[in-house]
Amino acid sequence: MNFRGAKIILFLGDDLLILRRDHTEGIPWPGYLDFPGGAREPGETGMECALRETIEEVGLDLGPEALSWELFYDGLWYFAAHLPASRVDDVVWGGEGEGWMMMSPEEFIAREDAIPHFRSVLRDYMDARDAR
């Protein structure tokens, strides 16, 4: 399957680990709030891409078993993972973008500076999860 990249909706406890994109010329959504993840490397699956990018960006080495949900939408794979809140101590900033922060999913969905289609994907994920 052809796709551009992958993202992880990454919960550490009840909150999300969120990245702030940089302002590099030509980057889509400069300065916006983002999920960990990024562009696909040759031969990668969506899961491999998401897991590699999470290590590179925030230093968290997740196994495939940590991923509890997936969605293919508009050329990107989206995954969700729920880890204990204590894993925030294991975050090591990889230097891409302007930094990272913890944020409730409700705040991310409400933020005007969050990538709009990621807000929608998160809202749909939360609605589906709450319906279970």
Mean pLDDT, residues 103-127 taken together: 97
Rounded to whole angstroms, what are the CA distances from 37 to 68, 96, 108, 130, 132? 16, 11, 16, 24, 26
pLDDT in tens, 11-42: 999 999 999 999 988 889 999 999 999 999 99
Averaged pLDDT of the chain: 95
* Strand blocks (E) in the chain: 5-12, 15-20, 33-34, 37-39, 67-73, 76-83, 99-103
Within a 10 A sphere around the Cβ of 51, how many other Cβ atoms? 25
Domains of the chain by start residue, with CATH:
5-131 (3.90.79.10)
